[in-house]
C-alpha cells in the first residue's frame, strides 16, 4: 500500500541539518516509529508531501527546505525584554526558557544575550531557517478509519494491518 491522503503511516526517521550533517533527532531515540494521518497537518508539510507514493518497507533520503519545514528566521522574533521578567532564572547564553502569555500559551525562546537591565531572546523555532534532511523508512501504511479521518489524527498503530 502507498502513502496517500487518509492513510495512517508509521515511519522511522533520522533528521539531519543539511548544511552540517549533524543529527538533530531520530525516532530511534524515542524507541518507536512516528505515526501520523496523511493530510491532517500532523508533520511538517515539506516532509509529508515528499512521502506521498512511498511504499511500506521503502527507505528514502528526503530534503526539505526551511520554507517547507519550520519557516525562515523572523528577525522580529528576536526581542529585548526587561531583566525583571527573568527573576529566579540563572541566565546563560543559549539557555532555552519558556514564558507564558496572559492567555496561557507557552512560548519557547533562547537567551541570546543579557546584562543587568535586559535580556535578548530569540523566539524563532530552533530549526527556523534550517534546510533539513530526513532519512525515512516506512514501517507500515494502512487505510485510516472513518473515526481517524473525522478527528483528523491517527489513533495509534492499532487498527487492522494490511
Residues 94 and 139 in one domain: no
Q: Tell me: do 23 and 60 sit in the same domain.
A: yes
State the Cα–Cα distance between residues 139 and 63, nearest whole angstrom: 19
Domain shared by 66 and 133, yes or no: yes
Q: Are 87 and 41 found together in one domain?
A: no
Query: 157 in a domain, yes or no?
Result: no
- pLDDT tens for the 162 residues of the chain, in order: 999 999 999 999 999 999 999 999 999 898 899 999 999 999 999 999 999 999 999 999 999 999 999 999 999 999 999 999 888 889 999 999 988 888 988 889 999 999 999 999 999 998 999 999 999 999 999 999 999 999 988 876 544 333
Whether 156 maps to a domain, the answer reads no
Q: Which three cell numbers stand for residue 63?
A: 530534503
Q: Is 141 found in the same domain as 62?
A: yes
Q: Is residue 2 part of a domain?
A: no
- Could you tell me if 51 and 65 lie in one domain? yes
Buried b / exposed e across 75-101, counting CB within 10 Å, b at 16+? eeebeeeeeeebeeeeeeeebeeeeee
Spatial CA neighbour of 138 closest among 69, 60, 62, 46: 60
Q: What is the CATH number of the domain that holds 102?
A: 2.40.10.330
Buried b (16+ CB within 10 A) or exposed e, 151-161: eebbeeeebee
The reported pTM is 0.79
- Residues 57 and 81 both lie in one domain: no
Q: Which residue has the cell 524507541?
A: 31
Per the CB < 8 A criterion, the answer to whether 91 and 121 are in contact is no
Domain annotation covers residue 87: yes
Range of the domain at 85: 75-122
Domain of residue 37, CATH code: 3.10.50.40
Q: Please check whether residues 92 and 38 belong to one and the same domain.
A: no
22 and 49 housed in the same domain: yes
Amino acid at each position: 500500500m502507498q502513502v496517500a491522503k487518509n492513510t495512517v503511516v508509521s515511519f522511522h526517521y533520522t533528521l539531519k541539518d543539511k548544511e552540517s550533517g549533524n543529527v538533530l533527532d531520530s525516532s530511534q531515540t524515542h524507541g518507536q516509529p512516528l505515526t501520523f494521518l496523511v493530510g491532517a497537518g500532523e508533520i511538517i508539510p515539506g516532509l509529508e508531501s515528499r512521502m506521498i507514493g512511498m511504499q511500506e518497507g521503502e527507505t528514502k533520503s528526503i530534503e526539505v527546505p526551511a520554507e517547507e519545514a519550520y519557516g525562515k528566521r523572523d528577525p522580529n522574533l528576536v526581542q529585548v525584554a526587561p531583566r525583571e521578567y527573568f527573576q529566579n532564572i540563572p541566565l546563560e547564553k543559549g539557555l532555552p526558557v519558556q514564558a507564558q502569555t496572559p492567555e496561557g500559551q507557552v512560548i519557547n525562546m533562547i537567551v541570546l544575550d543579557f546584562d543587568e537591565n535586559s535580556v535578548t531572546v530569540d523566539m524563532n523555532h530552533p530549526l527556523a531557517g534550517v534546510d533539513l534532511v530526513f532519512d525515512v523508512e516506512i514501517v507500515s501504511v494502512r487505510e485510516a478509519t472513518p473515526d481517524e479521518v473525522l478527528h483528523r489524527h491517527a489513533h495509534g498503530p492499532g487498527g487492522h494491518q494490511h
